[in-house]
């Protein structure tokens, strides 16, 4: 039996010898490469925290001590050490989640997988236990240097530092990266800490000298104190944390398990909040990841474990189409600039950044700042394109509403991974963006039905100078282009009966246009006459939709957004505002959190497939 197979919970770690711990670390890395290469997932981050996670579980006692992982994509090792060894269904329906999951284990605390929130969670847990008189229970927050660029993390640090008796350990997992290299002033500060180790040696020397020279101890102390004060900012830039009131330990080699244990035991012995600065290497132990300069295998699909090369090759993605379109637009218009929040490569801005480095801004994990900065750029005469995942727009809604829309700022938001994203689960589905932006006055929303529509939508969006605009598209391959039969006042007709008579107007929003066409075919085989349209610009609702609805006598709207507050609800409101009482059927995602699984599995589970929609409409139209 391997050492890993003997680990069914954290307590099993505590009896291991030093050689067994080294063996365990090697076995975990081999396991991760073998298993994640079959399923896809976050490989690089987990390879980097093997020794760190082992040390945390040897020093602390989960679940009595709460371990909170920021974002949670680096929790695979934690899953293994808490007895979850079956990774065959990782990120698949019915299998392990790619993030911590309370349904899986009592050792999992936070499962939202949005970055920079761990310190607020940890503060609340630690403070709550103090109130309950449980001061002997520690809370450990593991946060990466990338997530530490988020403003929410610093709001938490500001408050944590004010509570000097809080049993809270902050572990900064510093690998110089989020997806790509971490940028900004904090990154520069941490880089200085990595290369500055003289302070601890200086203090150790001072303490030993005082111990050996008791006769002149007082004078020696005063001298040491003065020297320390003078050189602190040179050899001790950890003053940023210490001056806030946080004890600082580090930097610690994140791949030296014994050193990690020593640092964590020291942190545990303090009476107040402590920051332990750990230096790790993303992708540690796996050459293809270490040698990949782009994202060091942050997230992979199915790969060859020996070479790291993908086994699944798909066509051009929606992101590819946007990337090329933005570069072309950048060549034509010098006022177009791009912003992202630590997602340069995933959202396809890397090509634009390479061509126009001075017109590209990566603000770190700070969607709020990105949005208000975009409003400022617009005021300065530029047209910013803010590219983020749809799920992360949630974090910047206030800034979109009050800084962009209220000020009539011409800012374009490009939302990648909209709708059902699949394997990453509830927190990553982009299923609320159209509901959120639908309440923003003056906002324009486009949902391209295929990749060829993205350049058209982008060109139209950057021409809007007096209001924010949004373009949203899903994850994966863009598929085949869907040609329009004709266009009516800006609405594309995708299919209709030859004689023009219609029983149903079927509105397919964005990528659901293909689903709407299949539904029309199924209903057509039953003798129903269906006109399928793509509104192109979903918001504000084009009045032409009202005219087409009245001509049909019945409407159905299909979208991969929450049905609550989605485009369909705006179509209904638009019809009622004009006095139309045409019945409308709405098809979208239910108002609930949807578990991980493939996109097809999730859509089937919620009844958003052509078969399910056609069956419901068939019963309605009879």
Active site residues: 282, 367, 395
Inter-CA distances, 411 with 118, 161, 293, 372, 461, Å: 30, 37, 31, 10, 8
Radius of gyration (Cα) for the chain, nearest Å? Answer: 27
Cα 479 to Cα 572: distance, rounded to the nearest angstrom: 30
Binding residue ranges for Mg(2+):
145, 175
Query: Of 170, 139, 167, 173, which Cα lies nearest the Cα of 51?
Result: 173
Cα 525 to Cα 150: distance, rounded to the nearest angstrom: 54
Q: Are the C-beta atoms of residues 351 and 323 closer than 8 Å to each other?
A: yes
Strands 444-446 and 537-539: antiparallel
Cα 449 to Cα 511: distance, rounded to the nearest angstrom: 5
Query: Of 111, 146, 118, which Cα lies nearest the Cα of 295?
Result: 146
First to last CA, the chain: 64
Binding residue ranges for thiamine diphosphate:
73, 113-115, 146-147, 175, 286, 367
Query: Of 451, 507, 521, 454, which Cα lies nearest the Cα of 480?
Result: 451
Strands 491-495 and 530-534: antiparallel
Element (H, E) at 173: strand 168-174
Phi/psi at 281 (nearest 5 deg)? Answer: -120, 120
Q: Are the C-beta atoms of residues 10 and 108 closer than 8 Å to each other?
A: no
Strands 412-416 and 360-362: unpaired
CA 205 to chain centre: 45
Inter-CA distances, 566 with 389, 437, 556, 570, Å: 18, 9, 13, 7
Q: Are the C-beta atoms of residues 313 and 284 closer than 8 Å to each other?
A: no
SS3 letters across 298-330: CCECCECCCCCCECCCCCCEHHHHHHHHHHHHH
Cα angle 480, 481, 483; round to 5: 140
Cα 378 to Cα 381: distance, rounded to the nearest angstrom: 5
User: Three-state SS for 512?
Assistant: helix
Q: How many CB atoms lie within 10 A of CB 212?
A: 9
User: Three-state SS for 412?
Assistant: strand
Q: Are the C-beta atoms of residues 337 and 377 closer than 8 Å to each other?
A: yes
Residues making up the chain, counted from first to last: 622
Sequence-separated (6 or more) residues with CB below 8 Å from residue 386: 338, 339, 340, 370, 371, 374, 411, 412, 413, 414
Q: How many CB atoms lie within 10 A of CB 498?
A: 6
Binding residue ranges:
73, 113-115, 145-147, 175, 286, 367
User: Three-state SS for 332?
Assistant: helix
CA 512 to chain centre: 24
Sequence-separated (6 or more) residues with CB below 8 Å from residue 569: 438, 563, 586
Inter-CA distances, 505 with 126, 508, 536, Å: 56, 10, 15
């Amino acid at each position: 039996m391997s050492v890993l197979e003997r680990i069914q919970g954290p307590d099993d770690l505590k009896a291991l010898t030093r050689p067994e711990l080294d063996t365990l670390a090697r076995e975990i890395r081999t396991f991760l490469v073998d298993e994640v290469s079959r399923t896809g997932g976050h490989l690089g981050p987990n390879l980097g925290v093997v020794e760190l996670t082992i040390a945390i579980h040897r020093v602390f006692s989960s679940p009595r001590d709460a371990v909170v992982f920021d974002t949670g994509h680096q929790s695979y090792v934690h899953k293994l050490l808490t007895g979850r060894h079956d990774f065959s269904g990782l990120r698949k329906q019915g299998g392990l989640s790619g993030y911590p999951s309370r349904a899986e284990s009592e050792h999992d605390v936070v499962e939202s997988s949005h970055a920079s929130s761990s310190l607020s969670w940890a503060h609340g847990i630690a403070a709550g236990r103090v109130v309950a008189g449980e001061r002997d229970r520690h809370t450990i927050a593991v946060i990466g240097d990338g997530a530490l660029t988020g403003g929410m993390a610093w709001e938490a640090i500001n408050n944590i530092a004010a509570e000097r008796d809080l049993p809270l350990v902050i572990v900064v997992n510093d690998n110089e990266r989020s997806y790509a290299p971490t940028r900004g002033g904090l990154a520069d500060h941490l880089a200085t800490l990595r290369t500055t180790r003289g302070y601890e040696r200086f203090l150790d020397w001072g303490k030993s000298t005082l111990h050996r020279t008791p006769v002149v101890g007082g004078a020696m102390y005063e001298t040491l104190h003065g020297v320390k004060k003078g050189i602190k900012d040179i050899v001790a830039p950890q003053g940023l944390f210490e001056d806030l009131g946080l004890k600082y330990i580090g930097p610690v080699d994140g791949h030296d398990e014994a050193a990690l244990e020593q640092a964590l035991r020291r942190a545990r012995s303090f009476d107040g909040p402590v920051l332990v600065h750990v230096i790790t290497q993303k992708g540690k132990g796996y050459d293809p990841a270490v040698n990949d300069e782009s994202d060091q295998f942050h997230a992979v699909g199915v790969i060859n474990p020996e070479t790291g090369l993908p086994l699944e090759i798909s066509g051009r993605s929606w992101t590819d189409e946007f990337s090329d379109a933005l570069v072309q637009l950048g060549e034509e218009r010098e006022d177009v600039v791009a912003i992202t929040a630590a997602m340069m490569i995933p959202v396809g801005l890397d090509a634009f950044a390479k061509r126009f480095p001075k017109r590209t801004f990566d603000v770190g994990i700070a969607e709020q700042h990105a949005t208000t900065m975009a409003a400022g750029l617009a005021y300065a005469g530029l047209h910013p394109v803010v590219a983020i995942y749809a799920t992360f727009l949630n974090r910047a809604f206030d800034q979109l509403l009050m800084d962009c829309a209220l000020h009539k700022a011409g800012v374009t938001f490009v939302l990648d991974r909209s709708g059902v994203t699949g394997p990453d689960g509830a927190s990553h589905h982009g299923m609320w963006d159209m509901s959120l932006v639908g309440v923003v006055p003056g906002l324009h929303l486009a949902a391209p039905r295929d990749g060829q529509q993205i350049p058209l939508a982008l060109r139209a969006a950057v021409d809007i100078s007096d209001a924010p605009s949004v373009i949203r598209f899903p994850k994966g391959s863009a598929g085949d282009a869907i040609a329009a039969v004709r266009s009516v006042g800006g609405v594309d007709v995708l299919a209709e009966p030859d004689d023009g008579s219609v029983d149903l107007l079927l509105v397919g929003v964005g990528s659901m246009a293909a689903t709407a066409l299949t539904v029309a075919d199924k209903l057509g085989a039953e003798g129903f006459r269906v006109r399928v349209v793509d509104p192109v610009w979903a918001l504000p609702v084009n009045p032409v939709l009202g005219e087409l609805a009245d001509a049909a006598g019945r409407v159905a709207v299909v979208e991969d957004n929450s049905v609550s507050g989605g485009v369909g609800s705006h179509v209904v409101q638009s019809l009622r505002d004009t006095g139309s009482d045409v019945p409308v059927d709405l098809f979208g995602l239910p108002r609930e959190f949807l578990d991980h699984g493939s996109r097809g599995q999730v859509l089937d589970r919620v009844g958003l497939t052509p078969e399910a929609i056609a069956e419901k409409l068939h019963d309605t139209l009879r």
